Amino acid sequence: MAYNRSDDDFSGLNDIPIPEEIIDQFDGSTDPIDLEDVQDDADTQTTIGSNTKRKATKQKAKCWDHFELVPTGKIVNDLPEFKAQCKHCQEKFAWQKGIGTTHLNRHYKKCQYRYGGLDTNQAQLQFGSPGAGSSNPTLNNWIYSQELMRNEGLPELIANVEFPLCLVDNPH
């Protein structure tokens, strides 16, 4: 028996509105809306469905510390449309109430700008030789170099571990 999907399967998705405080702040511009500026009053109620009321809640996902909602200027289903914008690299992502935040968390984990623009390899540290007139070693960023490893690292590995020289004879 084949299952035929109907629009009734998704009927509850559009019944959950964006909190009225956010809609009231929407003036048609595309400026970001800071969710921390929205007041969290105990008396704030929003209508869900036909006759159920519920208190508007703050965002609970940790990714919202690194993203903000940006209005797109479009109106969808009589509500303003928003995008989630990364606070570090300004990249915009799809956002709709109830679709989840997995894609936002995934972006945050790989966003290079959260490291201050450094590549993830540059976040690794190494001790350097002491500077002139100092007996303390310096702390430097470690950057991998393929050429340095080929010219110095591989011969040192072969000598220390006593691998046969034919290990690097084959160019393939």
Query: Whose structure tokens read 């290079």?
Result: 112
| Residues 101, 63 contacting (CB under 8 angstroms) | yes
- pLDDT at residue number 154: 87
Higher local confidence (pLDDT), 127 or 100: 100
Is residue 156 pLDDT above 60, yes or no? yes
> Which CA distances in Å does 33 have to 24, 27, 36, 64, 84?
11, 11, 9, 12, 10
Is residue 15 pLDDT above 50, yes or no? yes
Tens digit of pLDDT for each residue in 35-84?
Answer: 555 544 444 455 555 566 666 666 677 888 888 989 888 888 888 888 99
Higher local confidence (pLDDT), 147 or 55: 147
The confidence band for 85, taking pLDDT boundaries of 50, 70 and 90, is very high
The confidence band for 140, taking pLDDT boundaries of 50, 70 and 90, is confident
Q: 115: closest CA among 89, 138, 139, 93?
A: 89
- pLDDT at residue number 30: 60
Q: Would you state the structure tokens that stand for residue 82, as one six-digit string?
A: 């928003």
E-only strand ranges, the chain: 45-48, 52-55, 67-76, 79-86, 92-94, 125-127, 139-141
> Which CA distances in Å does 73 have to 46, 97, 128, 141, 172?
23, 17, 53, 43, 56
| Residues 93, 84 contacting (CB under 8 angstroms) | yes
The confidence band for 8, taking pLDDT boundaries of 50, 70 and 90, is low
